[in-house]
Amino acid sequence: MDQIECVIIGAGVVGLSIARALALEGRDVLIIEKEDAFGLHTSSRNSEVIHAGIYYPKNSLKAQLCVKGKELLYEYCEVRSIPHKRIGKLIVATEDFEIEKVKQYIAKARDNGVDDLAWLSQSEVRELEPEVSSVGGVFSPSTGIIDSHNYMLNLLGDAENAGAVVVYQTSIALIKPKEDGFIVKTEGLNAHEIKAEIVVNAAGLHACDVAKTIADLDENLIPQPFYAKAHYYSLSGRNPFKHLVYPVARKASLGVHVTVDMGGAARFGPDLDWIDGIDYSFDNSREELFFDAIRRYWPSLNRDQLQPGYTGIRPKISGPYEPAADFLIQSQKDHRMKGLINLFGIESPGLTSSLALAEMVSQLIESNGQ
């Protein structure tokens, strides 16, 4: 039977980041990915925003890992010349009753250690974004954008240069704990039985399914997965936006905002639609909803400027009527299995947090999950 020190399940941005960190520590790493390439799921179906860390509850993992991850990510992008931009983000109030809410973001961000947000008057917003209609807003200068594919390519390159190996078209059939590690049974192109000391479940939308293949894992520890679909529309024609523009969050989502990609193109999204399973099909009947939402802050939008873009699915572990759950990272102290790390609910800001998540997983392994 083949033997390896660490098995990482999933070659999304989080699995790759963890694989890189462990390989750079000199560990033997095998990444197991069920698709035929890395990053084909949530890691390539998101907004590609480097978040500042504004919205998350104080002391939550999301807040801590986002703020730390942002700094690590900017540094990594600089060193590796990964296309990225500190483009800045405007959160705008479109009506007077939203002003207080927008101002609260300044204090909320400060709670999380982000102290660079500033209130802008209506005319100051207009100076930054002449076509945006608002009664004022808040500017976050540390929010940015990144070419996430290029980022993942660099993570994989680092991991492979440090000796990590990735196998594609291979998924997990069974994980059986043994006294000194695990027997990992895979199926697909590389169907094998491998003995591993450390198993990291970074399977994103499938993390709960993968956890169910771990023999003897207390099923009460495996959260119920929920899937919240997001649509993005592209803006055809001239892009007037120089920054990211977000309206005030309404209901469970941040609202349909403007993001700009590294090529300078604008897109709108994500909306929020609870679904029962993984389905990336594009429902163009949402156009009306997008049109109305965008016109709140960009009245000159014409309907024919909206082109169907793509969809993504948030790997949630809290349902539509529950407060948003934090990232859930389980280690030995939770499940009593030495060497096992499960990552659940790694939705936004998982891309921004990826390097900090990898540091955390590495520390948990080093300290036997304490």
Ligand X SMILES: Cc1cc2nc3c(=O)[nH]c(=O)nc-3n(C[C@H](O)[C@H](O)[C@H](O)COP(=O)(O)OP(=O)(O)OC[C@H]3O[C@@H](n4cnc5c(N)ncnc54)[C@H](O)[C@@H]3O)c2cc1C
Q: Which residues bind ligand X (CB under 6 A)?
A: 9-15, 32-35, 39-43, 46-49, 51, 171-172, 202-206, 210, 230, 270, 312-314, 346-352
Q: Which is nearer to ligand X, 99 or 221 (CB)?
A: 221
Which residues lie below 8 Å from residue 320, measured CB to CB, with a gap of 6+?
226, 228, 252, 274
- Least Å from the CB of residue 96 to ligand X: 29
Q: Which is nearer to ligand X, 48 or 197 (CB)?
A: 48
Q: Which is nearer to ligand X, 32 or 235 (CB)?
A: 32
- Least Å from the CB of residue 19 to ligand X: 10
Q: Which is nearer to ligand X, 8 or 102 (CB)?
A: 8
- Least Å from the CB of residue 336 to ligand X: 23
Task: Provide the edge-to-edge strand list for the sheet that holds 84-85.
Answer: 49-50, 144-146, 84-85
Distance (Å, whole) CA 9 – CA 210: 9
Distance (Å, whole) CA 348 – CA 36: 24
Q: Which is nearer to ligand X, 74 or 136 (CB)?
A: 74
- Least Å from the CB of residue 304 to ligand X: 25
- The DSSP secondary structure of 176-219, one letter per residue, reads EEETTEEEEEEEETT--EEEEEEEEE--GGGHHHHHHTBTT--G
Q: Which is nearer to ligand X, 136 or 228 (CB)?
A: 228
- Least Å from the CB of residue 130 to ligand X: 25
Q: Which is nearer to ligand X, 10 or 369 (CB)?
A: 10
Distances (CA, A) of 283 to 1, 232, 287, 306, 347: 47, 10, 8, 13, 22
Distance (Å, whole) CA 107 – CA 112: 9
DSSP 135: S
Distance (Å, whole) CA 292 – CA 88: 24
Q: Are 69 and 348 in contact (CB under 8 A)?
A: no
- Least Å from the CB of residue 63 to ligand X: 13
Residue with tokens 């873009």: 309
- Least Å from the CB of residue 315 to ligand X: 7
Q: Are 221 and 337 in contact (CB under 8 A)?
A: no
Q: Which residue is nearest to ligand X (CB)?
A: 350
